[in-house]
């Protein structure tokens, strides 16, 4: 491959020197602990530089996992036990057909997951009683933050300008939700007020008056109560504020949906729909709103459209209103969400259907009722006074909380929730059986020196059965409307039917199981199966996020080791794994910077410099952190930072300069030669340097943000560190920081994390999406320091190999002075518009006929294609891809020469589905064979787009 480069080069190291600027090349070797070396004296203390083999790794992970104790957890607080249907676990969660696909920006080869995400949205709309739902957000707590910013956005302009803006939050919301709201509110100048919103007929709402942005309640609330909010909702609307409801999908199968009592927004955690605890994540949060807010809803939305043949097809709707467009005007930075988990939850609903879900809910209520009655008979008071019955899954018991919970752990291997010194909580779920209820009652009986009452008798006495609806739900709170009436939720209730449905959808989607996905900036590498094995182990998947930390010692080991290795890789002092996406990492890093700067003397430093080439989440995150965005130009010819412009802006804003955000290598695919100079300049003017490390794939072992001079950097573990893309999530976006910023790493209200001056949490769970951390840990450990560094070199080589093969056929937009790119490059197809009427989208769609996903289209430069092969592709696959693009170039040439018409040619009509080629007359200026099999190997290895071209605009981003 080195010989095939243009110009050829003698060695890999010489090649690396041609790619990276000399002044950033690191001279240190990465120190990643490998397997212990056993000497003849039995010494196991020394560690090898080589990575673990697959079997060594699994053995070590088994050992780590054994440090986690899997107890029954009835802690609740937004997370509930669930039975993951095995058919979904094996065929979705553990299936690369689902977990390696990309965000469905190319609908013709994504109809399967688009349909499944549409099912997710339909399920959320039906259950919440609201008309618009998105295809998932990160977690319930961040969904609350999104609801708050939507509320602010929905205020009349004059109200938005008021000096005081109050978001009122019920004291009965989950504590982690309130904490995350605090972290998000500050950047928008919103004050969070927490209180009893129903007291005195909603007096708190009236007191806030015109300052009110919105109100958030939890339904059912964190203590298990279920209230009627109809009156409150009217009060809120009279003040033109937004009513937001955090809720539970299972509860909504029996309780009045929020949309029917006036909620404008409803959101929550879909985890109990078939996604295990995972020590806090990942799972899909859902977010729904009323029609009037449809243009303000954050995240991705799937809608229905038609293809060229007029057939119905799904696509991402309104995609140009993602944060990438709104940039510094953004109120949300959500990009990666939780697509894979949303699919799991959607399949869970498809499998159980409306009746099955309601039966599960009835079982849960029956269990809660029996627990409640049992503890009452043992002499405990339940609830916060009054004689109301539990209406859903949580029983609050007055008791010595510490004593009870400790005893339950020790003697019954069971976690209950401590509300406060005198209150214990028990949240039951679909996994709870009679023996579990007996064990719960035994705990309470023990402290009364009594025997626990019989579960059967209790049930009989209070008239509940495992499958009937409780008849005493007050009419205002009882669900009467139908839900999940669509045939998809009423057809696949047997394993056979569901399995076939899952595979039917999967067969419509192109994923890494078919071919490389060369998406610039997205690093779509194929990870090893071994890395995926541990995520299904109960020791990692079945741990509630708020268990006492001595039950999660295995996690603790793994997290510490991963943080240490990431600190080593980035050249930083400390790392937080809390953020659950890259954009969340950006927001975290910027908030850390702000908090640090607030402690420094002088003026408020809130200017954030961002180059034009930056990913849209950068300015969005800066705006959310309350910073003012100032754009820095890039040079036309090279794509490098315009140092003159940077200098001018640094001088102009010297006293207010807070930070610069630099993506390295830049999103133009080049290592800026003057990056160190840029860092020094910003530091000289009192600012901090934020490095967007989403492109870390090009740096590991060769250079590092810390050594370059950055103060903070986020990584995308779902790119560089092998967490698969999942069709649009999950992700993990850790932040690494220099020593002076370490005290500010994010904390958590329920579990000790972060530094001594910790900023408020960014995610609901202390370690965000903890259960997928073993994937990245395993990747790093198997590669070892040497392997990681070698992988970076191959990343650079693969990109330059493609570049060299394509350069004779296509213009390349930016390279360095040696003609080299970094790990990705931009293929410039703009001139073909003039010469052949062909645009980037035509090339992208035609690539589908060749069995490839398009590169990143029209970002960061309009009407171009950005190619990133990653190190995980073989030369053979790179050649297939190059052959396809060269063949497409010839097709363009045929149009240029007038051999093919400008309209209706094979590019303009691409992609071709089977129906397109088989049904009806053929009157095109090219053959069917040319359409389907333009290169010989396609006859053997063909992926068929399931629909013809949809009009998906000109926009697609990572
Ligand atoms: C350069 C860059 N920065 C930030 C992000 C945002 O990361 P995430 O999608 O995980 O929020 C991306 C996402 O693709 C990216 O390419």
Compute CA distances 15 → 11, 22, 29, 152, 202, whole Å: 6, 12, 18, 52, 69
Contact 846, 829 (CB under 8 A): no
Between 339 and 326, residue with greater pLDDT: 339
Q: Which residue reads 């669900």 in tokens?
A: 479
Binding site membership of 335 for ligand 1 (Cβ less than 6 Å): yes
Q: With 90 as the cut, is the pLDDT of residue 385 above it?
A: no
Secondary structure class of 398 (helix, strand, coil): strand
Mean pLDDT, rounded, for 586-611: 96
Binding site membership of 692 for ligand 1 (Cβ less than 6 Å): yes
pLDDT tens track for 39-64:
676 666 667 778 999 999 999 999 99
Mean pLDDT of the chain: 95
CA of 335 to the centre of ligand 1 (A): 7
Q: Can you read off the two tokens belonging to residue 565?
A: 């290795």
Binding site membership of 583 for ligand 1 (Cβ less than 6 Å): yes
- Give percent of the chain above pLDDT 70: 97
CA distance 343 to 502: 10
Kindly state the helix (H) or strand (E) to which residue 72 belongs, with its residue range.
strand 72-73
CA distance 607 to 604: 9
What one-character DSSP code corresponds to residue 104?
S
Kindly state the helix (H) or strand (E) to which residue 825 belongs, with its residue range.
strand 825-828
pLDDT band at 188 (very low <50, low <70, confident <90, very high): very high
CA of 957 to the centre of ligand 1 (A): 9
Q: With 90 as the cut, is the pLDDT of residue 275 above it?
A: yes
Mean pLDDT, rounded, for 640-652: 97
Beta strand pairing call for 265-269 and 132-133: unpaired
pLDDT, residue 319, reads 55
Residue whose CA is at the smallest distance from ligand 1 atom 10: 582
pLDDT tens track for 868-926:
999 999 999 999 999 999 999 999 999 999 999 999 999 999 999 999 999 999 999 99
Q: With 80 as the cut, is the pLDDT of residue 361 above it?
A: yes
Mean pLDDT, rounded, for 605-611: 97
Q: In terms of Cα–Cα distance, which of 560, 548, 516, 569 is closest to 801?
A: 516
Could you report how far apart the first and last alpha carbons of the chain are, in Å?
Answer: 28
Contact 444, 373 (CB under 8 A): no
**Residue 136: how many CB atoms within 10 A of its CB?**
33
pLDDT tens track for 500-520:
999 999 999 999 999 999 999
CA distance 55 to 646: 51
Binding site membership of 717 for ligand 1 (Cβ less than 6 Å): no
Contact 825, 815 (CB under 8 A): yes
Using most ligand atoms within 8 A of CB, pick from 103, 521, 776, 859 the residue to mutate for ligand 1.
521
pLDDT, residue 384, reads 80
Q: With 70 as the cut, is the pLDDT of residue 463 above it?
A: yes
Q: Can you read off the two tokens belonging to residue 563?
A: 């943080």
Mean pLDDT, rounded, for 390-402: 96
Contact 754, 746 (CB under 8 A): yes
Binding site membership of 691 for ligand 1 (Cβ less than 6 Å): no
- Give percent of the chain above pLDDT 90: 92
CA of 299 to the centre of ligand 1 (A): 14
- Is 401 inside any structural domain? yes
Beta strand pairing call for 414-415 and 417-420: unpaired
pLDDT band at 322 (very low <50, low <70, confident <90, very high): low
- Is 279 inside any structural domain? no
Between 887 and 385, residue with greater pLDDT: 887
Q: With 80 as the cut, is the pLDDT of residue 958 above it?
A: no
Q: Can you read off the two tokens belonging to residue 276?
A: 């295990």
- Is 362 inside any structural domain? yes
pLDDT, residue 932, reads 98
Secondary structure class of 82 (helix, strand, coil): coil
Residue whose CA is at the smallest distance from ligand 1 atom 7: 582
Mean pLDDT, rounded, for 120-144: 98
CA distance 136 to 380: 40
CA of 585 to the centre of ligand 1 (A): 9
What long-range pairs does 162-167 form, CB within 8 A, spacing at least 24? 162/210, 162/211, 164/191, 164/211, 165/189, 165/190, 165/191, 165/211, 165/213, 166/190, 166/191, 166/192, 166/193, 166/208, 166/211, 166/212, 166/213, 167/191, 167/192, 167/193, 167/213, 167/214, 167/215, 167/216
pLDDT, residue 956, reads 42
CA distance 685 to 564: 31
pLDDT tens track for 805-829:
999 999 999 999 999 999 999 999 9
Binding site membership of 336 for ligand 1 (Cβ less than 6 Å): yes
Q: Can you read off the two tokens belonging to residue 816?
A: 């360095």
CA of 731 to the centre of ligand 1 (A): 10
Least confident stretch, 460-464, 630-634, 950-954: 950-954
* Ligand 1 nearest-atom number relative to CA 663: 1
CA distance 489 to 153: 35
- Is 203 inside any structural domain? no
pLDDT band at 951 (very low <50, low <70, confident <90, very high): confident
Compute CA distances 70 → 89, 303, 542, 552, whole Å: 19, 41, 6, 9
Beta bridge partners of 628: 607
Kindly state the helix (H) or strand (E) to which residue 417 belongs, with its residue range.
strand 417-420
Q: With 70 as the cut, is the pLDDT of residue 320 above it?
A: no
CA of 478 to the centre of ligand 1 (A): 43
CA distance 823 to 523: 9
- Is 500 inside any structural domain? no
Mean pLDDT, rounded, for 86-99: 98
Angle between helices 455-462 and 434-446 (to 10 degrees): 100
pLDDT, residue 318, reads 66
CA distance 224 to 309: 52
Mean pLDDT, rounded, for 163-179: 97
Q: With 50 as the cut, is the pLDDT of residue 955 above it?
A: no
Q: In terms of Cα–Cα distance, which of 868, 557, 890 is closest to 725?
A: 868
Range of the domain at 360: 353-477
- Is 901 inside any structural domain? no
- Is 288 inside any structural domain? no
DSSP for 669-737 reads: S---TTHHHHHHHHHHTT-EEEEEETTGGGTTTT--HHHHT-SEEEE-TTTTT----TTT------EEE
Binding site membership of 345 for ligand 1 (Cβ less than 6 Å): no
Q: Report, in angstroms and rounded to the nearest whole number, the Rg of the chain calculated over CA atoms.
A: 28
E strand segments, 196-319? 212-219, 242-247, 265-269, 285-289, 301-306, 312-317
Q: In terms of Cα–Cα distance, which of 345, 151, 154, 335 is closest to 245?
A: 151
Using most ligand atoms within 8 A of CB, pick from 298, 327, 335 the residue to mutate for ligand 1.
335
Binding site membership of 338 for ligand 1 (Cβ less than 6 Å): no
Q: In terms of Cα–Cα distance, which of 520, 465, 841 is closest to 670?
A: 520
pLDDT, residue 954, reads 39
E strand segments, 160-247? 165-170, 190-195, 212-219, 242-247
pLDDT tens track for 447-458:
999 999 999 999
Write the burial class of residue 815 (CB in 10 Å: 0-12 exposed, 13-18 middle, 19+ buried). Answer: buried
- Is 874 inside any structural domain? no
Number of domains the chain contains: 1
Using most ligand atoms within 8 A of CB, pick from 517, 583, 613 the residue to mutate for ligand 1.
583
CA of 336 to the centre of ligand 1 (A): 7
pLDDT band at 957 (very low <50, low <70, confident <90, very high): very low
* Ligand 1 nearest-atom number relative to CA 585: 11
Q: With 80 as the cut, is the pLDDT of residue 325 above it?
A: no
Binding site membership of 719 for ligand 1 (Cβ less than 6 Å): no
**Residue 767: how many CB atoms within 10 A of its CB?**
28
CATH number at residue 444: 3.90.1150.10
Asked if omega into 674 is within 30° of 0 (cis), the reply is no
What one-character DSSP code corresponds to residue 51?
P
Binding site membership of 682 for ligand 1 (Cβ less than 6 Å): no
CA distance 234 to 125: 22
Binding site membership of 667 for ligand 1 (Cβ less than 6 Å): yes
Q: With 80 as the cut, is the pLDDT of residue 952 above it?
A: no
pLDDT band at 387 (very low <50, low <70, confident <90, very high): low
């Amino acid at each position: 491959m080195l010989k095939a480069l243009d110009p050829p080069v003698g060695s890999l190291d010489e090649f690396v020197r041609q790619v990276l600027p000399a002044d950033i090349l690191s001279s240190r070797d990465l120190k990643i602990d490998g397997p212990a070396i056993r000497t003849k004296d039995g010494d196991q203390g020394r560690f090898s530089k080589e990575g673990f083999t697959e079997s060594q790794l699994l053995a070590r992970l088994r050992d780590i996992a054994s440090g986690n104790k899997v107890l029954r957890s009835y802690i609740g607080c937004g997370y509930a036990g669930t039975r993951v249907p095995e058919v979904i676990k094996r065929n979705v969660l553990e299936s690369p057909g689902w977990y390696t696909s990309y965000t469905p920006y190319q609908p013709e080869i994504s109809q399967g997951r688009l349909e499944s995400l549409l099912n997710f949205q339909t399920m959320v709309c039906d259950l919440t009683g609201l008309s618009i739902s998105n295809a998932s957000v990160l977690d319930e707590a961040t969904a609350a933050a999104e609801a708050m910013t939507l509320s602010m956005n929905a205020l009349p302009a004059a109200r938005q300008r008021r000096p005081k803006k109050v978001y009122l939050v019920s004291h009965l919301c989950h504590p982690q939700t309130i904490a995350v709201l605090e972290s998000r509110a500050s950047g928008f100048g919103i004050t969070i007020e927490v209180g009893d919103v129903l007291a005195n007929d909603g007096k708190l709402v009236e007191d806030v008056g015109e300052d009110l942005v919105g109100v958030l309640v939890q339904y059912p609330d964190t203590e298990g109560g279920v209230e009627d909010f109809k009156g409150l909702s009217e009060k809120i609307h009279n003040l033109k504020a937004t009513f937001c409801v955090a809720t539970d999908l299972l509860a909504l199968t029996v309780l009045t949906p929020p949309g029917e009592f006036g909620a404008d927004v409803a959101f929550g955690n879909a985890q109990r729909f078939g996604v295990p605890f995972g020590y806090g994540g990942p799972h899909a949060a859902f977010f729904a709103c009323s029609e009037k807010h449809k243009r303000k809803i954050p995240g991705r939305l799937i809608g229905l459209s038609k293809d060229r043949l007029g057939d119905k097809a799904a696509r991402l709707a309104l995609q140009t209103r993602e944060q990438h467009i709104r940039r510094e005007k953004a109120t949300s930075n959500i990009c990666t969400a939780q697509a894979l988990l949303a699919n799991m939850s959607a399949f869970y609903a498809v499998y159980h259907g409306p009746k099955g879900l309601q039966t599960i809910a009835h079982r849960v209520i029956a269990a809660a009722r029996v627990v409640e009655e049992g503890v009452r008979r043992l002499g405990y008071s339940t609830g916060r006074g009054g004689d109301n019955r539990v209406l859903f899954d949580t029983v609050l018991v007055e008791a010595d909380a510490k004593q009870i919970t400790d005893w339950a752990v020790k003697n019954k291997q069971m976690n209950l929730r401590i509300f406060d010194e005198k209150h214990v909580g028990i949240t039951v779920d679909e996994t709870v059986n009679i023996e579990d209820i007996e064990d719960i009652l035994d705990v309470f009986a023990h402290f009364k020196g009594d025997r626990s009452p019989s579960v059967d008798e209790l049930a009989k006495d209070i008239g509940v059965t495992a499958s009937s609806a409780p008849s005493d739900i007050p009419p205002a709170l009882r669900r009467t409307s139908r839900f999940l009436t669509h045939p998809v939720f009423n057809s696949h209730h047997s394993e056979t039917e569901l399995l076939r449905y899952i595979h039917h959808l999967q067969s419509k989607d192109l994923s890494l199981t078919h071919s490389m996905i060369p998406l610039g900036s997205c690093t779509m590498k194929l990870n090893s199966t071994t890395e995926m094995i541990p995520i299904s182990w109960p020791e990692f998947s079945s741990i509630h996020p708020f268990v006492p930390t001595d039950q999660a010692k295995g996690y603790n080991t793994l997290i510490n080791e991963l943080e240490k290795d990431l600190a080593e890789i980035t050249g930083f002092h400390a790392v937080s794994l809390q953020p659950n996406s890259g954009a969340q990492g950006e927001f975290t890093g910027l908030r850390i910077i702000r908090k640090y700067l607030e402690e420094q003397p002088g003026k408020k430093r809130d200017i954030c410099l961002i180059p034009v080439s930056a990913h849209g989440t950068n300015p969005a995150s800066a705006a959310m952190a309350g910073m003012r965005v100032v754009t820095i130009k890039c040079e036309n010819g090279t794509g490098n930072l315009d140092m003159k412009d940077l200098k001018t802006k640094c001088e102009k804003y010297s006293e207010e300069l807070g930070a610069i955000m630099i993506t390295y290598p830049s999103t133009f695919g080049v290592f800026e030669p003057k990056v160190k100079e840029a860092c020094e300049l910003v530091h000289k003017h009192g600012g901090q340097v934020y490095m967007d490390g989403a492109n870390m794939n090009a740096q590991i072992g060769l250079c590092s943000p810390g050594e370059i001079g950055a103060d903070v950097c986020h990584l995308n573990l779902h790119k560089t560190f092998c967490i698969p893309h999942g069709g649009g999530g999950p992700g993990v976006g850790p932040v690494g920081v220099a020593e002076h910023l370490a005290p500010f790493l994010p904390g958590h209200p329920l579990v000790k994390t972060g530094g001594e001056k910790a900023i408020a949490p960014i995610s609901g769970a202390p370690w965000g999406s903890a259960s997928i951390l073993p994937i990245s840990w395993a990747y790093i450990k198997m590669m070892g320091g040497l392997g990681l560094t070698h992988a970076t070199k191959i990343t650079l080589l693969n990109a330059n190999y493609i570049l060299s093969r394509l350069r004779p056929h296509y213009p390349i937009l930016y390279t360095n002075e040696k003609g080299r790119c970094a790990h990705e490059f931009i293929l410039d197809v703009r001139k073909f518009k003039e010469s052949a009427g062909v645009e980037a989208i035509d090339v992208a769609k035609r690539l589908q006929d060749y069995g490839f996903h398009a590169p990143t289209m029209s970002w960061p430069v309009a009407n171009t294609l950005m190619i990133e092969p990653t190190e995980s592709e073989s030369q053979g696959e790179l050649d297939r891809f190059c052959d396809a693009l060269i063949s497409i170039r010839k097709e363009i040439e045929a149009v240029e020469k007038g051999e093919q018409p400008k309209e209706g040619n094979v590019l303009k009509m691409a992609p071709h589905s089977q129906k397109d080629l088989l049904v009806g007359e053929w009157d095109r200026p090219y053959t069917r064979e040319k359409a389907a099999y333009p290169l010989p190997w396609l006859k053997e290895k063909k992926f068929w787009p399931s629909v013809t071209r949809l009009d998906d605009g000109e926009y697609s981003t990572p």
